[in-house]
Amino acid sequence: KQEVTQIPAALSVPEGENLVLNCSFTDSAIYNLQWFRQDPGKGLTSLLLIQSSQREQTSGRLNASLDKSSGRSTLYIAASQPGDSATYLCAPRSQAGTALIFGKGTTLSVSS
């Protein structure tokens, strides 16, 4: 059974810092992996999707990398802003048409 761990559980940084959020998963046989952000009491917003054949995917200030063989993904946020404050969730998918498995997330707080 796939298990997902995200480290750190919480992170507080001043505005402008670059930061890395870590995700590890126990079953490396994944189809793809998505990173989401969740604002308090809200639904999930998809940030990046990285296919199992990819090493990384970029969108604006966000960059996600994937090392499938070691069961790790990282989300890099450049030049953090207070608006980035949210919980970030990592979710691998084992195959097409199946549900995502979620970690507990990293709660990020960016102060101005």
Partner 1 sequence: SAVISQKPSRDICQRGTSLTIQCQVDSQVTMMFWYRQQPGQSLTLIATANQGSEATYESGFVIDKFPISRPNLTFSTLTVSNMSPEDSSIYLCSVEEMRLGRDTQYFGPGTRLTVL
Q: Which spans of this chain sit near partner 1 (rule: CB under 8 A)? A: 31-32, 34, 36, 41-46, 49, 51, 89, 91, 93, 96-105
* Shortest Å distance, C-beta 104 to partner 1: 5
* Shortest Å distance, C-beta 1 to partner 1: 9
| Of 101 and 110, CB closest to partner 1 | 101
| Of 28 and 52, CB closest to partner 1 | 52
- What is the DSSP track for 55-109? SEEEETTEEEEEEGGGTEEEEEE-S--GGG-EEEEEEEESSTTS-B-----EEEE
Angstrom distance (rounded) from CA 112 to CA 103: 28
